Amino acid sequence: MSIVKEAAVTQDTPASAEVKRGTEIRLDHVTKDYGLAVPAVDDISLTIEPGEFMTFLGPSGSGKTTTLNLIAGFETLTAGTIALNGTEVGSLPPHKRNLGMLFQNYALFPHLTVAQNVAYPLRERKLPKPEIVRKVAEVLELVQLTGRDDNFPSQLSGGQQQRVALARAIVFDPKVLLLDEPLGALDRNLRASLQAEIRRIHREVGSTFVFVTHDQEEAMNLSDRIALFNAGHLEQVGTPEALYRDPETLFAARFLGDSNVFELDERPHSATTSWHGLTWAVAPHTVAVPRPSLSHYAVVVRPEDVNVTRSASEAPRGTNAVPARVRDVEFMGSYRTLMLEFGTSGVVGRARIDASESQVALGDEVVASWSPERQRIVAA
């Protein structure tokens, strides 16, 4: 989905600093085992396109940070290969991989000024002094921190420090930037503004960005594609929209956004399925591909796709319906969220309705319905 970026190159690009394009990162059966019961990263294969903004999303311990560290070279591969633009880098030490990196706690050198921090990688590459000065000024302007050259990191705010770290990580024109939950330590507003910064810089610079986070909103906001991690393996990879609209597993449906979940006894074979005596229509393309390790199935529906009516007759035609009782009503400003108990099953879910709808009240018996096109059958 890299419409805005420069064209990806598939042949070996010389690793020269001036070429502002992204590198393709290919992970092939990558595994990292610490000798514990389960490997931290289990047989992951993924191709990150040149110039793409890829997010590794997942809960703590899912292997996303470990995978990032494997790409960076801070961890060694137990099995599999990692290739940058076709060249295997598994045995290359981190300082030779020419990748930029951002850390959650910024990792700015406290004994160096802002300008010295940013110049650090250029000095390592032995660039001539005038060019260092020029590039530092250029990149500080890019992150909007001109004039802060002589400050020390301790004199800057969190947001400013992260921008210095960003400047330092891109000043040497790496073709890959790895970001390890860089916004985790910032408050909400700062996060939002820095997210915008990061997106902007990605567009300007064009390198491949690999972003790690556990925040699904952040992931959906920033990424071209998301790789969803679960317990060391890749649950699903796709655009934010694809993951949101068409989750393939229950984990994916639950991790991104909210879901109503109805567990089924078996994978639907035909055009209908049944749940607690109710028969529901199933649109064939909404059934997820079977997974070898997952034997159960469930129907998932997003709260915003659920209609709530007083009776079954008022429900729109062609929808799947289930009687429900309103357990709670939450006023969210522009909409209301209804907590519903479906049938007598004890299963609880949510529906989203307009704020203006004042008819539904606590304790009411209602009918929840949704279009079969909007439901998904996922593996669990």
Partner 1 sequence: MTMISRPRRLPSASWLLLVPALALLAAILLVPLGQSLLRSLGTPQFTLQHYASLFTDGVTLKILGRTALTAAIVTMVALVLGYPYAYLMTRVGPRTRGILLTIVLIPFWTSVMARNFAWIIILQRGGPVDTFFSFFGIKDAVFYGNVTGVTIAMSQVLLPFMVLPLYSSLGAIDRKLLLAARGLGSPPIVAFWKIYWPLSRGGVVAGLILVFTLSLGFYVTPALLGSPQESLIAQLLATRTTQLLDFAGAGALGMLVLVVTLALVAWANRVGGSVTALGAVATAGTKERA
Partner 2 sequence: MTSLDTRALLTASAPPRRGRRRRDRGVDPTPWWLSMTGALVAMYLILPTLFVIPMSFSSSSTFQFPPKNFSLDLYVNFFTKPVWLTSLGNSVLVAILAAILATVVGTAAAVGLDRLTGRVAGLMRTLLMVSIVTPGIVIAVAVYASFLQWHLTGSLLGYVLAHAALGVPFVLVSVTSALGGFDPALLRASASLGASPLRSFVRVTMPLISRGIVTGAIFAFVTSFDEVVIALFLRAPTFQTLPVQMYNSVTVEIDPTISAASSLIVVAVTIIFLVPQLVGTRKKNR
- Considering only 71-79, 167-175, 196-204, 322-330, which stretch makes contact with partner 1 by CB under 8 A? 71-79
Distances (CA, A) of 280 to 190, 293, 329, 340: 45, 26, 26, 19
Residues 288 and 210: their CA atoms lie apart, in Å, by 27
- Considering only 70-78, 149-157, 245-253, 271-279, which stretch makes contact with partner 1 by CB under 8 A? 70-78
Cβ proximity of 174 and 98 under 8 Å: yes
Cα 226–Cα 218–Cα 307 angle in degrees, nearest 5: 85
Residue 89's binding partner among partner 1, partner 2, none (Cβ under 5 to 8 angstroms by kind) is none
CB of 124 to partner 1, least distance (A): 16
CB atoms under 10 Å from CB of 60, counted, come to 7
The helix/strand/coil state of 171 is coil
Binding site for partner 2 (CB under 8 A): 72-74, 93-96, 98-101, 103, 105, 107-111, 120-121, 124-125, 165, 168-169, 172, 178
Residues 114 and 148: their CA atoms lie apart, in Å, by 7
CB-nearer residue toward partner 2: 107 or 231: 107
The helix/strand/coil state of 153 is helix
Residues 241 and 236: their CA atoms lie apart, in Å, by 12
CB of 181 to partner 2, least distance (A): 12
- Considering only 4-12, 59-67, 146-154, 251-259, which stretch makes contact with partner 1 by CB under 8 A? 59-67
**Residue 50: both structure tokens together:** 């040149």
Residue 100 as a binder of partner 1 (CB under 8 A): the answer is: no
Residue 121 as a binder of partner 1 (CB under 8 A): the answer is: no
Which of 47, 76, 87, 157 binds partner 1 (CB under 8 A)? It is 76
Q: How many Å separate Cα 335 from the centre of its chain?
A: 26
Residue 94 as a binder of partner 1 (CB under 8 A): the answer is: yes
Residues 102 and 109: their CA atoms lie apart, in Å, by 13
Residue 66's binding partner among partner 1, partner 2, none (Cβ under 5 to 8 angstroms by kind) is partner 1
**Residue 105: both structure tokens together:** 């706690």
CB of 38 to partner 2, least distance (A): 22
**Residue 309: both structure tokens together:** 């009516």
Residue 111's binding partner among partner 2, partner 1, none (Cβ under 5 to 8 angstroms by kind) is partner 2
Residue 97 as a binder of partner 1 (CB under 8 A): the answer is: no
Residues 229 and 235: their CA atoms lie apart, in Å, by 6
Which of 9, 45, 61, 149 binds partner 1 (CB under 8 A)? It is 61
Cβ proximity of 281 and 372 under 8 Å: yes
Q: Which of residues 203-222 bind partner 1 (CB under 8 A)?
A: 214
Residue 61's binding partner among partner 1, partner 2, none (Cβ under 5 to 8 angstroms by kind) is partner 1
Interface with partner 1 (CB under 8 A): 34, 40, 60-66, 69, 73-76, 93-94, 214
